[in-house]
Amino acid sequence: SVNPDLASERQTASFSVEKLTAWLDGGAEYTRMRRAVVQAIESDPVFSTENQYFQSQNERYEAAVRKAVHLQKKMHEMGWTDNSPEFKYIYRAVSGDIAFLLHRIFMRSITVLGSDKQIAKWIPLATQYQLIGSYAQTELGHGTYLQGLETTAVFDITTQEFILNTPKISAMKWWPGDMGRSATHTVVFAQLYIHGKCYGVHPFIVQIRSLQDHSLCPGITAGDIGPKMSFEHADNGFLMLQNVRVPRENMLNKFCEVQPDGTYVRRGSQQINYFTMTTVRISLISDEVVMPLMKACTIAVRYSVVRRQSTLKPGEQEAKILDYQTQQEKLLPQVAAAYAFHFTNNYLQELYNRGYSEIQRKNFDMLPELHALSSGFKAIITQFCTSAVEICLRACGGHGYSLLSGLPSLYTKILASCIYEGENTILLLQTARFLIKCFKAAKAGQPIPPSVTYLAAVKLGKCPARNKLDFLSPHIYTEAYEHMAIRLISSTAAKLQDLIQSGIKKYDAWNQCTVQLAQAAKAHCHYITVKNFAETVEKLEPKAGIQTIMKHLCDLFALHGIFSNAGAFLHDGYISGAQMDMVTASYLDLLPVIRKDAVPLVDAFDFTDKNLNSALGSYDGQVYQRLYEWAQKSPTNKQVSPAYEKYLKPLLHNTLSKL
Amino acid sequence: EALVINDPDFQHEDLNFLSRSQRYEQAIRKSSLMVMKLREYGIADPEEIYWFKSFVHRGRPEPLDLHLGMFLPTLLTQATPEQQDRFFMPAWNLEIIGTYAQTEMGHGTHLRGLETTATYDPATQEFILNSPTVTSIKWWPGGLGKTSNHAIVLAQLYTQGQCKGLHAFIVPIRQLGTHEPLPGITVGDIGPKFGYDEMDNGYLKMDNFRIPRENMLMKYAQVEPDGTYVKPLSDKLTYGTMVFIRSLIVGDSARSLSRACTIAIRYSAVRHQSELKQGEPEPQILDYQTQQYKLFPLLATAYAFHFVGAYIKDTYHRISGDINEGDLSELPELHALTAGLKAFTSWTANAGIEECRMACGGHGYSRCSGIPDIYVTFTPSCTYEGENTVMMLQTARFLVKSYTQVSSGQRVTGMVSYLNDLSRQRIQPQHVAARTVTVRINDPVSLVDAYKARAARLVEAAAKNLQTELNHRRSKEDAWNRTSVDLVRASEAHCHYVIVKLFTAKLSEISNAAVRAVMTELCLLYALYGISKNAGDFLQAGILTDAQITQVNQHVKELLAIIRPNAVALVDSFDFHDVHLGSVLGRYDGNVYENMFEWAKKSPLNKTQVHESFHKHLKPMQAKL
């Protein structure tokens, strides 16, 4: 039965949860499909995550391999393929706890970077799992800065082979997933040398383990890199190469080729390489970043209406902790952010699809904009969602620290997203470089991409709001964000200009402005997020019945941003001190309004209990019983601890000297 | 320190490669040894025990923490002489291992809500202990799950049909000799957590479990044989212990952040990446402004918190003499201040440790960096010993009370004395914000004034908002709740002011000129960075102008470059031994990459060349497809 404290929250919903869910999914038919996939996976015991929190790294790894193998069978059984619409829901259904994710990147890199001949040779083998692939780019000494990679591939004309080497310890490949124990092949990125001349980083297919007995191939040293903060299931690996020879045909050569005589040929645009990174960055936002935040919100909000603590009015029952203003102020902005970034993701997907079809038509004009936006958004969304998940964790008091709450695992996993696929600070600086360039172009009257046209229309003036209700108008707050973004971009551009004119070298000037540049990039992305949220709400049809609550969430997201970055809006007086008080008042007024719909808003994310895997966040709210039940299942309670006989007993009997 | 580090008995495999149950076993082994060695070396001074313990366990929790830190001290302070005779020596000799069972599944910081009952039965002169609901099960106490055979249990006392509130009882939970749970006792481990792997945090459920009347800790409150209840003299006494423990957390914030900074800054000097100037070798990442901007303010914060921790400890020792003589006058302020500072420093350090980890890029995420471990060990301090938001509101209560006193014409003293200035301004119609402070951004003393003005403004704003809510005829509690976000901001501003003030005051005590110079730079960085991050408060209150904020931002960046040459020396000064730091990235010798490889080779997944999963899953799949 559902805990009455949770049931009562659902009775007072101001909107239909089912309708909101369907809207989030992009239509009721997608909701049906998603539920069918989740049902098929969760009803299969092989995919159970029941004892996950009690398992060792070894056990987690084995389970991930078992699931990945079983998934092939399951997909066949269900008639799903990698290209069918069901595919994108599988990952959600297994909660990402599965091996061979790098196998897919291996395949994708061959499809994108390989010639037709190479695709024809390797893709069928990979599809049939005759080999297991990985993707070896990052090294001990270098990550986001690819040009710095130190692995070498020297072309040997006499044998028509490349000789791959790890010349020093910092050149060792480090971190690639699936490489520690599983992979038989990997795509190695190495500096290509022909006749002693370096041609930069290129991809090579290298076999690392025997297809017969899985032992390491000659010249290969590989293994697991040891325990991490999370990802226990993944065998992130290291790889050292000593005079490993691969045939000339193993260099992926759609864009560059080494001919038998050693001639180096370049074809097509180098820009396409950026496109792969853009694809990965955009694709991870939904599953790896926004979804974990939605889960964390679900757990924390449900728990906050079940947990009662202290009294709000003397003599009354203890209050639900979600009725405290401070608790609302912690959680509700995170719920709003989860929605905001869900819509940002839709916006990016749309932009990406448009860009992709342009590229198919050999038009690369959209690439810089797409690259800049995907970098900046990857950075701000991962950063924002990571701290949001941590806020949810700490809003659950002591029980949040129990692994059984599900929150520590969500947190340790999402926080890796701030680093992988490009370290966030570096990504923000890439976006900033694009913005500065566009700003200069706009000033010179040149055309600029659509997402930054606002830079051309520099408006001066003050925020026109006269009372706190004015701050509930999207155009008022959107303009405030726009103004702030322009101010930060233009002042940083001016500063750069000044430094350069004063005789400082360009690179030094850039480094001296990087703190401001990163802030400007963030401001731009924040502005686009708010603007996109407001436009999304505007487009909603009133009859759907969800417009009102979405408008509240949009207001909350926008005002929370102003409230938390007050200095940036007050600076230069666009918003006055008195107006800032209005923002605060409006912001705090929204909390109790959204509070009423808090549970329905997280219910709409539609996670099953198995998917949440949380003693605190389940749909029925039977928090304490579940916590007690699950704790009793802990292996520490089943086995007799050897510590008692060995150490405690002698200690208790004061016979330690015999140890 | 050398005593422990060179002792072969305390050596063991890297904890990162051990399972939870192995880590628990190692911790127990070392604790047992530690007790032996303490006796052997004749170490008895609490301070020395503390250091010895922290070296044995390298700053990590251990199952006897609660026995040594709570059970024994509680016996000393709350047990009668008769009870001390009965329990103290056996506990000292570890025949009795105890824990302190306060938190329940349903209640934590809000102690009055605890549900465990102790009902007095005059017929047998016993207390009957019960866990009447699921939520009343004791949950979280350290060492309760597997280690302890006794617990001090906090329960609602019922006698003669009346509830007399929370009291402490000594409850045996496991049979001496067999270590089996006693009849009526259900006890166990609460399962895996975010860190604290070596600690057996436990649960305890009691069903009509009887203990003799003499097992209630009766130094203050008493229950007489016939059931008559005798009230304690003062309830403020418990403040003393809380102040002490919270002061330890402030110190712990400083230490944990210092460790993370040491690792991140040393690694940033070893790691080379990308290019600043075309064609030149890759620079140390510590030369990038963004990296300095991440790390140096945290370094300054670590120093600031170090001084704050020392201040609270000193103040506590200074006034604990008065407390013993019954003079509690200074206690309320110190209690209010430590609550807020505990929250402020633990929140900041928590975020700072994460920032340090993130500044180490991908390798920070590996357990070999040591930072994940520092984080998971430290982060619960935002919750235990008083949930941080609740702590901030306690400080706010004191601030509002002081403000009200000032409004009614009384003067207040101590750290809140700046509120006295508000009454003088009452004559003027505009609020405190309008007061102009001439801030000199190169002068720490002047910056203290700026922080003071900000605190005054936010305390006043919160108090006024509270009054407005009350004027709308809301109940006191409701009005308080509707103002609580403002109140927390006021507390934060107050704590921030106190920290800047203490750091600044410390500068004049430094006799060595070179040390004073670098500390002054750090102090300025701490103060200016705080202004930059909270520019809204300073702008809105009119304490600083737009132009000054721009100068502040600029000066912060200049300080980064000034501090850069001393950065490694500043973390070396924290003087953490490599063994204590537990980090491959933060090694004193900087030989990072070779040692990462050595470390990884020991990973459990590398025990065999071909993992068993290959034979179990991979091979059959390849055969079938």
B425-468 pLDDT tens trace: 544 444 444 455 688 999 999 999 999 999 999 999 999 999 99
Average pLDDT over residues B73-82: 89
Tokens for A279, please give them.
């694809």
pLDDT at A657: 44
Tens of pLDDT, residue by residue over A29-57, are 999 999 999 999 999 999 998 888 888 88
Question: Would you place residue B35 in the very low, low, confident or very high pLDDT band (cuts 50, 70, 90)?
Answer: confident
Size of interface A-B (CB pairs under 8 A): 363
Range with the poorest average pLDDT among A349-363, A588-602, B6-20, B465-479: B6-20
Domain ranges of chain B: 1-60, 96-232, 243-275+283-389
- Does the beta-carbon distance from A419 to B278 stay under 8 Å? no
Instruction: For chain A, give the number of residues.
Output: 659
Chain A residue with CA closest to B204: the answer is A628
Question: Would you place residue A269 in the very low, low, confident or very high pLDDT band (cuts 50, 70, 90)?
Answer: low
- d(CA B269, CA B258) in angstroms, rounded, equals 16
pLDDT at B424: 59
Tokens for A302, please give them.
């449900």
The CATH code that applies to domain B96-232 is 2.40.110.10
Q: Look at chain A and report how many structural domains it folds into.
A: 2
Cβ burial A332-368 (10 Å sphere, 16+ → b, else e): bbbbbbbbbbbbbbebbeebbeebeeebeeeebebbb
Interface test with B, best of A72, A76, A228, A495 (most B CBs within 10 A): A228
Q: What angle do CA B348, B351, B357 make, to 5 degrees?
A: 135
All residues of chain A having their beta carbon less than 8 Å from the beta carbon of residue B549 are 567, 571
Q: What is the DSSP letter of A80?
A: -
Task: Tell me if chain A has a CB within 8 Å of the CB of B546.
Answer: yes
Question: Which of the residue ranges B5-19, B86-100, B249-263 has the most confident prediction, judged by mean pLDDT?
Answer: B249-263
- Does the beta-carbon distance from B105 to A639 stay under 8 Å? no
- Does the beta-carbon distance from B105 to A628 stay under 8 Å? yes
Residues of B assigned a catalytic role: 385
All residues of chain A having their beta carbon less than 8 Å from the beta carbon of residue B532 are 567
β-pair partners for A264 = A258
Does residue A149 contact residue A189 with C-beta atoms inside 8 Å?
Answer: yes
All residues of chain A having their beta carbon less than 8 Å from the beta carbon of residue B611 are 61, 181, 235
Within-domain flag for A508:
no
pLDDT at B34: 83
- Does the beta-carbon distance from A325 to B485 stay under 8 Å? yes
What is the longest distance spanned by two Cα atoms in chain B?
Answer: 91
Q: Which residue has the tokens 């949220």?
A: A533
Residue B202: pLDDT over 90: yes
Q: What is the C-alpha end-to-end distance of chain B, expressed in Å?
A: 60
Task: Tell me if chain A has a CB within 8 Å of the CB of B367.
Answer: yes
B123's CB contacts (< 8 A; 6+ apart) are none
Domain boundary among A205, A234, A267: A267
pLDDT at B433: 46
Q: What is the DSSP letter of A542?
A: G
The CATH code that applies to domain B243-275+283-389 is 1.20.140.10
DSSP string, A149-188: ---EEEEETTTTEEEEE--SGGGSEE--TTTTTT-SEEEE
Helix B444-471, helix B388-407: angle, nearest 10? 80
Within-domain flag for A579:
no
Residue A250: pLDDT over 50: yes
Domain boundary among A244, A267, A290: A267
Does the annotation list A177 as a binding residue? yes
Chain B residue with CA closest to A146: the answer is B274
Question: Would you place residue B117 in the very low, low, confident or very high pLDDT band (cuts 50, 70, 90)?
Answer: very high
**B84 to each of B73, B90, B218, B222, how far by Cα in Å?**
11, 10, 11, 16
Q: How many CB atoms lie within 10 A of CB A290?
A: 25
DSSP string, B381-414: GGTTTS-HHHHHHHHHHHHHHHHHHHHTT----G
Tens of pLDDT, residue by residue over A478-531, are 999 999 999 999 999 999 999 999 999 999 999 999 999 999 999 999 999 999
- d(CA A408, CA A389) in angstroms, rounded, equals 9
β-pair partners for A161 = A156, A247
The topology under which CATH files domain B1-60 is Butyryl-Coa Dehydrogenase, subunit A; domain 1 (1.10.540)
The residue type at B46:
P
pLDDT at A365: 86
Question: Would you place residue B604 in the very low, low, confident or very high pLDDT band (cuts 50, 70, 90)?
Answer: confident
Question: Would you place residue A605 in the very low, low, confident or very high pLDDT band (cuts 50, 70, 90)?
Answer: very high
Range with the poorest average pLDDT among A409-418, B52-61, B273-282: B52-61
Chain A residue with CA closest to B286: the answer is A511
Which of these, B6, B9, B1, B70, lies nearest to B34 by C-alpha position?
B9
Residue B77: pLDDT over 50: yes
- Top-confidence residue, A56 or A465: A465
Interface test with B, best of A58, A179, A308, A519 (most B CBs within 10 A): A58
Domain boundary among A267, A296, A315: A267
Residue B382: pLDDT over 60: yes
Q: What angle do CA A337, A341, A343 make, to 5 degrees?
A: 120
All residues of chain A having their beta carbon less than 8 Å from the beta carbon of residue B603 are 57, 223-227
Element (H, E) at B211: strand B209-212
Range with the poorest average pLDDT among A135-149, B18-32, B585-599: B18-32
pLDDT at A380: 97
pLDDT at A270: 65
Task: Please tell me whether residue B206 adopts helix, strand or coil conformation.
Answer: strand
Q: How far is A584 from chain B (nearest CA, A)?
A: 10
Does the annotation list A573 as a binding residue? no
- Does the beta-carbon distance from A567 to B614 stay under 8 Å? no
Q: How far is A539 from chain B (nearest CA, A)?
A: 33
- d(CA A299, CA A293) in angstroms, rounded, equals 10
β-pair partners for B206 = B185
- d(CA A629, CA A619) in angstroms, rounded, equals 16
All residues of chain A having their beta carbon less than 8 Å from the beta carbon of residue B465 are none
Question: Would you place residue B235 in the very low, low, confident or very high pLDDT band (cuts 50, 70, 90)?
Answer: low
Within-domain flag for A643:
yes
Share of chain B above pLDDT 70, in %: 95
Q: How many CB atoms lie within 10 A of CB A467?
A: 10
Q: What is the DSSP letter of B566?
A: G
Domains B96-232 and B243-275+283-389 share a fold: no
All residues of chain A having their beta carbon less than 8 Å from the beta carbon of residue B540 are 566, 570, 577, 580-581
Element (H, E) at A424: helix A424-443
Tens of pLDDT, residue by residue over B495-535, are 999 999 999 999 999 999 999 999 999 999 999 999 999 99
pLDDT at B318: 85
Tens of pLDDT, residue by residue over B553-574, are 999 999 999 999 999 999 999 9
- Does the beta-carbon distance from B379 to A140 stay under 8 Å? no
Chain B residue with CA closest to A310: the answer is B110
Residue A655: pLDDT over 70: no
- Give the phi and the psi of residue A25 in degrees, each rounded to 5: -75, -15
B533's CB contacts (< 8 A; 6+ apart) are A567
CATH number at residue A215: 2.40.110.10
Within-domain flag for A526:
no
Mean pLDDT of chain B: 90
DSSP string, A344-393: HHHHHHHHHHHHHHHHHTT--TTHHHHHHHHHHHHHHHHHHHHHHHHHHH
Does residue A186 contact residue A208 with C-beta atoms inside 8 Å?
Answer: yes
Task: Tell me if chain A has a CB within 8 Å of the CB of B606.
Answer: yes
Within-domain flag for A399:
no
Task: Tell me if chain A has a CB within 8 Å of the CB of B20.
Answer: yes
Residue B234: pLDDT over 80: no
Range with the poorest average pLDDT among A115-124, A142-151, B435-444: B435-444
Q: Which residue has the tokens 């190469």?
A: A241
Interface test with A, best of B33, B375, B615, B617 (most A CBs within 10 A): B617
Tens of pLDDT, residue by residue over B272-316, are 998 888 888 999 999 999 999 999 999 999 999 999 999 998 888
How many Cα neighbours within 13 Å face the side chain of A412? 24
Q: Which domain holds residue A638?
A: 623-657
Average pLDDT over residues B528-548: 95
pLDDT at B619: 80
The residue type at A137:
Q
Task: Please tell me whether residue B351 adopts helix, strand or coil conformation.
Answer: helix
Task: Please tell me whether residue A256 adopts helix, strand or coil conformation.
Answer: strand
Q: What is the DSSP letter of A471?
A: G
